[in-house]
Amino acid sequence: MNEGVVDYSQIDSKGLLYDSFELTTNERKITQIHLLGEVILDIKTAFNEKFREFEKLKGDEISKIEDKNDRINQIMQELQIQETLFRPYLDEDEVPERIITVNDSEVTIEKVLIEEVEGVNLINLNKQYITADEKKKIEEKQKLDEERLRAAQEDNFRERALLTMMGGRLEDRSEQEDKEELVKPDWMSKPKEELNEEERKQIKEFEKKLAEEQEKYKKALETELKKLQGVITEICENFDQQLQQFANFKLATDQS
């Protein structure tokens, strides 16, 4: 579909309309009025379907950016830098369900400590009484947090096997398979006065190679960071273009 052009030729009700020169009787004119109402309803329905598709697209794009931001956060922690991240979100008007949702931050009064309210079972938790449903939600959240922690610990265990002597940092995942691990021999931990000339030379070579690997790893992270930032910019630009096309589609729909 061309930008700003609305093609409603597939709408069945439009094929039932009389031609302007066929409106020769009152009965046909009245029928035409009802048919036009059906056409308008079909046009609105078709537009709403497009709107829901675009609404889903926006949510998907936000999710993509959030995933990129998670990785950017990890990289910035590795590089020990701080930058403001672009974090898109859905406005209140885009999520009507929020109107009837009350967040804990919106409740400014303390919970009243009571044991029973109209037959609802209440449970004492941290000196506050909550309903069984609230307790269930808390337990489910705790269970999810424990599962995430367990998964993270398992990942850390696997990663520790891949740790190299790079200041305690991991190799870039994309290069782990092709890169030789830099392992510090145990004898290098001996006191300096116990080292001979050859051992001192090997330590200097090791430290030089270690510094080179650290610098290479840093540059790899910086490159990945710029790439991720570029991907986010591209996502936003593509979405803005589609938003402009959808705005033109809306105007064309209003005028059809």
DSSP 28-52: HHHHHHHHHHHHHHHHHHHHHHHHH
Rounded CA separation 234/106 (Å): 36
**Mean pLDDT, to the nearest integer, of 37-65?**
91
Determine the average pLDDT of the residues in 74-85.
Answer: 90
Confidence band for 159, pLDDT divided at 50, 70 and 90: very low
pLDDT in tens, 196-222: 888 788 888 888 888 888 899 999 999
DSSP string, 231-244: HHHHHHHHHHHHHH
- The percent of residues in the chain predicted with pLDDT above 70, rounded, is 71
Average pLDDT estimate for 58-73: 93
Contact 4, 35 (CB under 8 A): no
- Output the pLDDT for position 116: 47
Give the model's pLDDT for residue 117.
46
